[in-house]
Structures are given as C-alpha cells and as structure tokens.
Structure 1
Amino acid sequence: MKVTKSEFVISAVGPDQYPVDGWPEIALAGRSNVGKSSLINKMINRKNLARTSSTPGKTQQLNYYGINDELYLVDFPGYGFAKVSKTQRQAWGKMIERYLLERETLKLLLLVVDLRHPPSKDDMIMYDWVSHYDLPICVVATKADKLPRSRWAKQIKQMKQSLGLRIDHPMVLFSSDTGLGKDELWGIIKANIRASEDDLEDHGLIVTEDTEEITEEHTED
C-alpha cells in the first residue's frame, strides 16, 4: 500500500471521542516497549508520527492515526507495565474490552509481540480473549532483525505453541529497521477490510453503484 497521507487524529478514552466517519480501523495491542509505535511509523513511512518513548506505559488512550483518508491505525495502551497502578490498568482493560466488543469499524487486531522472547502471560491472555470472541487477529512478531535468521524457525515455533495459534490466524515477522514484513502486513490489512466489506454487501448493508442502478431499473418496471 502506498501511503501518501498520514496524520495523528485524536487520543480517545471512550466512544464519545471516537471518529464518526466510518473508516475501517486496525488496532494494535501489545506489551509496553514491544515496538508498536516503531511499527506504525514504518508502515506509514514516517520517522516519528507515532511517538516512541523510553518510559513504558506512557500511552494511556487509544491513539488514532488517519491513513490516506481511508482507514485508521489505532494504538492501544501497552500492557504489562508494573509501575502503572492497578486502578489504571483496570480502567485501560475496560476501555479496550469495550472497544473490541462494540466497535463496528474494527476490522483487524494486530497483536504485537517480540520475536526474541516467548509470549508474555498478558500476550497469551489477550490472544485467548480475542480468539474466544472470534475477532479477526494477526500476530506480528517484531524485532526479527535482532535475531540471526538461523533462530527464526525455533522462535516462531515456540511462539505459535505458547499462544496456541490457530491455523486461520496469520503471523508476520516484522522489522521496523529493515522493513521486513511491511508489504505482507499491508496485504493482510487490506484483505481483512475487503472481506468485511464483501460480507456487508452480501447482507445488503452496503449500497454500491450497481445495486442503486438495479433498484432504479426495478422501480421503473
């Protein structure tokens, strides 16, 4: 996908602040410091639109980034950071759960993990929860360039086994430095958006130019 326009739109904490234009939304979840901001910047060819931080837990809202005036990347607060209060973690959890279950424009969740390490307990909880509700998900294993290629297969196998990765849930190796996995990930994102639109059309919930013409012709008869 060629990105010609990208911009930060809003930091939202609830549905009343979410955009209302109906663009498809691709959400990113993962532990603090896993590289979500770097992934976003690489995907949109920007150096620092999504701000990286040396302070884990800094992102405390859903950060919306508009892409090409046609879709959003939505960055979740990082989980698993012990210095964030229990009350704050609970508030984040409720916000994210409500978004995942109720946001109709959500087309795909990217679960971002670090290829160098086994999935954390929070990674496994998130994956199990999303799988239980049968939400569309893709696991993105970042920092692949930090490991020699000879270790990739072993790490991938370990990650898939730990998560219990379903065969219909893709995994993408990604590097924010080299761009590994960028095109593949955009392909998965676009495929999920198209699949969702096709499903809506099948149920008569999207009116296309063709269906408008057919309706008009039928009315004249």
Structure 2
Amino acid sequence: MKIKDSKILISAVKPDQYPELELPEIALVGRSNVGKSSFINRMINRKNLARTSGKPGKTQTLNFYLINEDMIFVDVPGYGFAKVSKSHRDVWLNMITTYLLNRPTLKGVVQLIDIRHLPSKEDKEMFKWLIENKLAVMIVMTKADKIPKGKIQKHAKDICKELDIPTGFPIVFSAETGIGREEAWEAIGELIES
C-alpha cells in the first residue's frame, strides 16, 4: 500500500473524545512492549509518528492515527507487565472494552504477539475474548528479525498450536526489516472490506 499521508488525530480515553470521522478503524492490541508503535511506524513508512519506548506501559490512551485520509489505526494500551496499580489497570480495561465493543466504525483487530515467545496467558485471554465477542481478528507475530530465519516456521507453528489456529493464519512481521508489511496491508484491506 502506498502511504501518502499519516498523522495522529487524537489521544482519547472516552467515547466523546473519539474522532467523528466515518472512516474504517483497525485496533492494534498486544502485550506491553510487543512492538505496536514500531508496527505502526513500519506500516506507514514513518520513523517516529507513533512513539516507541523501552518502558512497558507507555501508551495509556487510545491513540488514533489517520492514514491516507481514508482509514484509522487505533493504538490500544498494552496489557501484561505494565507497572501500574490494579485500579489504574481496571480503568484501562474499561476504556479498551468500551471502545472495542461499541465503536461502529471498528472493522477489525490486529493482535500482535512476540514471535520469540509462546503466547502469554494475557495473549490467550485477549484472543479468546476477541473471538467470543465476534470481532474480526488477525494475528501478527512481531520481532521476526530477532530469531534465526531457520527457526521462524517452528516458532510460528508453536504459537498457532497454543492459540489453536491454522498455521497459515498469522503474519510473520519485522518492523526492522519490513518482512510481512505487504501481507499485513493485504489482510487489513480484507478486514476493512468484510
């Protein structure tokens, strides 16, 4: 996909702050530090539109990114090991579920999972929750450049087995090298069309 224009629209925590554009939205979910910001930056060919951080739990709002004036990526706060209080986590959970369950322009969810590790308990819970709530979901396995090429298929197969999904389903991705970018755009296009 050719990216002509991309920008951050707004950081929101409640529905009355969401953009009022009637454009298809794709939500990005994953553990803290799985590489959501790096995924966004590689997908739109920008270095720092989405801020990356070595500190997990940096994203604390729903960040809406307008792409080519015709679609929106929504970066959702990461789950997992963010060092925040339980009450703060509950606020995040409420904010995320409110968005995912009630946003009419949401066309699908990209769940990012680190290819180096088997899906965590939170990864499995999120995937199950998305399926149970009938949200269209695609899996992107990030950080493929961090393992030897010869081990990618085995890692991908193990992740698919853990999630009980077909092996051809997830997309192997590297923000560093760009592997999987075209496949990810193709799958996102299918989410928007369906």
| TM bucket, shorter chain | over 0.9
Aligned length: 194
- Corresponding residue for residue 159 of structure 2: 159
* Cα deviation digits, residues 37-93 of structure 1 (max 9, x gap): 001000000000000012211110100100010110000001112521101111111
Q: How does 1:30-45 map to 2 (within 5 A)?
A: 30-45=30-45
- Corresponding residue for residue 129 of structure 1: 129
- Corresponding residue for residue 202 of structure 1: none
- Corresponding residue for residue 13 of structure 1: 13
The structural deviation recorded for 1:152 is: 1.3
1:73 paired with 2:108, answer no
Q: 1:145 to 1:168 in 2, by over 3 A?
A: closer
Q: 1:17 to 1:96 in 2, by over 3 A?
A: same
- Corresponding residue for residue 191 of structure 2: 192
Q: How does 1:134-153 map to 2 (within 5 A)?
A: 134-153=134-153
The structural deviation recorded for 1:190 is: 1.0
**Alignment partners' CA distance in 2, 1:13 and 1:34:** 21
Deviates more, 1:75-84 or 1:34-43: 75-84
Three-state SS of the structure 1 residue aligned to 2:158 is helix
Contact 1:139-1:169 within 8 A present in 2 as well: no
Q: How does 1:28-67 map to 2 (within 5 A)?
A: 28-67=28-67
* Cα deviation digits, residues 126-152 of structure 1 (max 9, x gap): 000001112100000001111112111
Q: Which amino acid aligns with 2:189?
A: K
Contact 2:160-2:167 within 8 A present in 1 as well: no
Contact 1:137-1:169 within 8 A present in 2 as well: no
After TM superposition, the score normalised by the length of structure 2 is 0.96
Q: Give the number of the structure whose alpha-carbon radius of gyration is greater.
A: 1
**Percentage of matched positions with identical amino acids:** 52
**Alignment partners' CA distance in 2, 1:139 and 1:82:** 22
In structure 2, stretches of 5+ residues that fail to align are none
After TM superposition, the score normalised by the length of structure 1 is 0.85
Three-state SS of the structure 2 residue aligned to 1:139 is strand
Q: Which has the higher helix share?
A: 1
**Alignment partners' CA distance in 2, 1:50 and 1:118:** 26
**Alignment partners' CA distance in 2, 1:169 and 1:101:** 27
The structural deviation recorded for 1:170 is: 3.0
